[in-house]
Each structure stands twice: as C-alpha cells, then as structure tokens.
C-alpha cells in the first residue's frame, strides 16, 4: 500500500557530524513537507516543496540545514554540522496539492539524537 518511507528510522550521532535523512514520498504526490517534532515545540514546518521546487524553507536554520529533492522519488534533509539541540523526530509528509482538501500523509519519522 502507498506510504511515505523515511530512512533511517533512528540515528545517533556525535555533535559536529553530518546527518542526512531521506524520504520517499507517495508516488504521484507533488508536495513534500519536512517537519521537526520536539516535546517543547510540537510539530514545526522546516521546508516545503512543490513539484520538486522549494516553496518555503523559512522554518529551517539556513546555516546548517539544507533540503533538496534530486528527483520526484527522493527528498533529503541534511544537517551539517549537527548539534545536540537538533535532537528531535523529523517527519516527512507528502500530498497532492491540486486536491482542495488534500491530506498530508506522514512517514514514520527519523528519530535523531545528537550527543
């Protein structure tokens, strides 16, 4: 069945290391979101792509975070260098924006721990 796939599910890394999270959106969806979830802040939008073009990445710390969609089947979120405050669960979601009430389907998330 169609689902958003995120890898890895869990990542523990040392401060200063590069982290790359990957997302495979549902086939045919043209909108991809990256969210970060923490206990304190809840779900925060980091970046938003439509038809592979970045539409809004205002929620993302530009100095260390970058998001790309090299093709329609892969979205990546990279943190370089990582810091302990980046520890969170990172969710990718995809949808079809042409549908007025389109639902954003979420992946299982990548739980990142930076020590």
Partner 1 sequence: KNQVEQSPQSLIILEGKNCTLQCNYTVSPFSNLRWYKQDTGRGPVSLTIMTFSENTKSNGRYTATLDADTKQSSLHITASQLSDSASYICVVRDSAAGNKLTFGGGTRVLVKP
103 binds partner 1, rule: CB under 8 A: yes
Give residue for tokens 């998330």.
109
Q: Is 108 in the site for partner 1 (CB under 8 A)?
A: yes
**46 is a contact residue toward partner 1 (CB under 8 A):** no
- Cα separation, 57 vs 91, in Å, equals 15
Using CA atoms, how far apart are residues 115 and 93, in angstroms rounded to an integer?
A: 27
Instruction: Find the binder of partner 1 among 32, 49, 91, 114 (CB under 8 A).
Output: 91
DSSP state string for 10-51: EEEE-TT--EEEEEEPPTT--EEEEEEEETTTEEEEEEEEET
- Among 22-30, 61-69, 78-86, 104-112, which window interacts with partner 1 (CB under 8 A)? 104-112
The distance of closest approach from Cβ of residue 50 to partner 1 in the complex, given in angstroms and rounded to an integer, is 9
Find the binder of partner 1 among 45, 72, 74, 96 (CB under 8 A): 45
Decide: helix, strand or coil at residue 86.
Answer: helix
- Where along the sequence are the contacts to partner 1 (CB under 8 A)? 4, 33, 42-45, 48, 55-56, 91, 93, 97, 100-101, 103-104, 106-109, 111
């Amino acid at each position: 069945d169609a689902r958003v796939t995120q890898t890895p599910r869990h990542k523990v890394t040392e401060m200063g290391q590069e982290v790359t999270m990957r997302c495979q959106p549902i086939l045919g969806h043209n909108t991809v979101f990256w969210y970060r979830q923490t206990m304190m802040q809840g779900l925060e939008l980091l970046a938003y792509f439509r038809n592979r073009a970045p539409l809004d990445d205002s929620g993302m710390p530009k100095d260390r975070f970058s998001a790309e969609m090299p093709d329609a089947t892969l979205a990546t979120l990279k943190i370089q260098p990582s810091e302990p405050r980046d520890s969170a669960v990172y969710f990718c979601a995809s949808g079809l924006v042409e549908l007025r009430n389109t639902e954003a389907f979420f992946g299982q998330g990548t739980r990142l721990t930076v020590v």
